[in-house]
């Protein structure tokens, strides 16, 4: 187990090295000039030359790569061109928002997905099953941002129940301790702030959580159905054990294995969806910021953020693999 973990962690080194090289090539292949992006409509040829020089974009590419790798090795992820702040600082500031959103989405998906999937499997072939299955199919085929604006239209424009933008009502004077708005509200006993933060998570959480929800429903259904046909379940049934006991002891526990893996995998994929969801709901997380960095040609932010995301993504995948081994000793990896 430990060796496996270490090996996987060691494998991340060449992966990140390769990624950073590709990233470097990529950002420089982006058409458009960061200096012009910075200066906008007022730019003149001289002003662009000056800014280009100031940021060292006029140096030979190899030299730039050397400088870049040198600072990466020192753990320095450079500073954003746009606001001049260290990339890592900005990332850490926005990351809690994205985690919070991803957790809200996962919570929505898991809390709703597992029972629905279970019920669908129990009543396989009946109307409940059909509704759940077709609903979950629809869930994955609606474009995320279309769903997001639909939710906004219905729940905010028409019904006016949920807020549509940001993480917290600006009128609420909340104390920031950890960067996680809900947690902060609870820690500081500013319960109205915590409640408001939760309300702000509802619509984006649903929008982002719909695809994972659909997938969890389907995996749970398939997996429960499979387990229910296993010999040990039949044995238990023939022994006359109560249905609820069978469900709890045998079916659910065994069926949760693929479901747990799926949840882990979806966590990683949520980063993709977050780009769109954060944009629609004006959520100041890493997704929307990363996207705006592309249009602003903010090279250091692009390189830094994608490396951070890749690290997190790889770590999640590793955790999923390890978890898999823990849950099911049969597939423990050598």
Among residue numbers 299 through 328, which ones bind other proteins (CB under 8 A)?
306, 309-310, 313-314, 317-318, 320-321, 324-325
Among 6, 9, 10, 15, binds other proteins (CB under 8 A): 15
The verdict on 213 binding other proteins (CB under 8 A) reads no
Among 1, 150, 245, 326, binds other proteins (CB under 8 A): 150
Binding span for other proteins by CB under 8 A among 62-70, 92-100, 102-110, 112-120: 92-100
Site for other proteins in 104-133 (CB under 8 A): none
Number of residues near other proteins (by CB under 8 A)? 117
Residue number, 60 or 329, with CB nearest to other proteins = 329
Three-class SS state of 20: helix
Bridge partner residues of 86 (DSSP)? 79
The verdict on 59 binding other proteins (CB under 8 A) reads no
From the CB of 220, what's the least distance to other proteins, in Å? 11
Distance CA 224, CA 229 (A): 9
The verdict on 34 binding other proteins (CB under 8 A) reads yes
Q: List the end-to-end C-alpha distance of the chain, in Å, as a whole number.
A: 7
The verdict on 260 binding other proteins (CB under 8 A) reads no
* Cβ within 8 Å of residue 195, ≥6 positions away: 185
* Cβ within 8 Å of residue 331, ≥6 positions away: 324, 325
**C-beta of residue 86 within 8 angstroms of C-beta of residue 298:** no
Binding span for other proteins by CB under 8 A among 27-35, 61-69, 102-110, 238-246: 27-35
Site for other proteins in 167-186 (CB under 8 A): 167-179
**C-beta of residue 175 within 8 angstroms of C-beta of residue 190:** yes
Residue number, 65 or 145, with CB nearest to other proteins = 145
**C-beta of residue 161 within 8 angstroms of C-beta of residue 168:** no
* Cβ within 8 Å of residue 131, ≥6 positions away: none
Neighbours of 253 (CB within 10 A): 12
From the CB of 174, what's the least distance to other proteins, in Å? 7
Among 1, 137, 245, 326, binds other proteins (CB under 8 A): 137
| Longest Cα separation, the chain | 87
The verdict on 149 binding other proteins (CB under 8 A) reads yes
Specify the length of the chain in residues.
334
From the CB of 219, what's the least distance to other proteins, in Å? 6
**C-beta of residue 157 within 8 angstroms of C-beta of residue 147:** no
The verdict on 56 binding other proteins (CB under 8 A) reads no
From the CB of 225, what's the least distance to other proteins, in Å? 6
């Amino acid at each position: 187990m430990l060796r496996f973990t270490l090996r996987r962690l060691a494998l991340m080194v060449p992966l990140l090295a390769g990624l950073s090289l590709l990233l470097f090539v990529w950002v420089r292949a982006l058409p458009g000039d960061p200096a012009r992006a910075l200066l906008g409509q007022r730019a003149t040829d001289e002003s662009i030359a000056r800014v280009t020089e100031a940021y060292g974009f006029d140096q030979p590419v190899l030299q730039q790569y050397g400088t870049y790798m040198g600072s990466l090795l020192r753990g320095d992820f450079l500073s954003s061109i746009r606001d001049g702040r260290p990339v890592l600082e900005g990332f850490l500031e926005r990351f809690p928002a994205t985690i919070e959103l991803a957790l809200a989405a996962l919570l929505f998906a898991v809390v709703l997905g597992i029972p629905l999937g279970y019920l669908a499997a129990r009543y396989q072939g009946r109307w409940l099953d059909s509704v759940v299955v077709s609903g979950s199919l629809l869930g994955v085929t609606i474009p995320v941002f279309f769903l997001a604006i639909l939710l906004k239209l219905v729940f905010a424009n028409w019904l006016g129940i949920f807020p549509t933008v940001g993480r917290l009502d600006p009128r609420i004077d909340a104390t920031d301790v950890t960067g996680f708005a809900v947690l902060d509200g609870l820690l500081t006993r500013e319960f109205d702030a915590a409640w408001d933060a939760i309300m702000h998570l509802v619509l984006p959480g649903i929008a982002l959580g719909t695809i994972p929800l659909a997938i969890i429903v389907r995996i749970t259904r398939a997996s429960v159905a499979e387990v229910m046909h296993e010999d040990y379940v039949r044995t238990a049934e023939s022994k006359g054990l109560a249905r609820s006991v069978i469900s709890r002891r045998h079916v659910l526990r065994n069926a949760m294995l693929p479901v747990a893996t799926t949840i882990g995998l979806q966590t990683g994929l949520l980063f993709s969806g977050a780009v769109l969801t954060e944009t629609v709901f004006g959520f100041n997380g890493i997704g929307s910021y990363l996207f705006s960095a592309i249009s602003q040609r903010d090279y250091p932010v692009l390189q830094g953020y994608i490396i951070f995301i890749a690290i997190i993504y790889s770590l999640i995948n590793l955790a999923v693999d390890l978890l898999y081994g823990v849950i099911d000793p049969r597939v423990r990896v050598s």
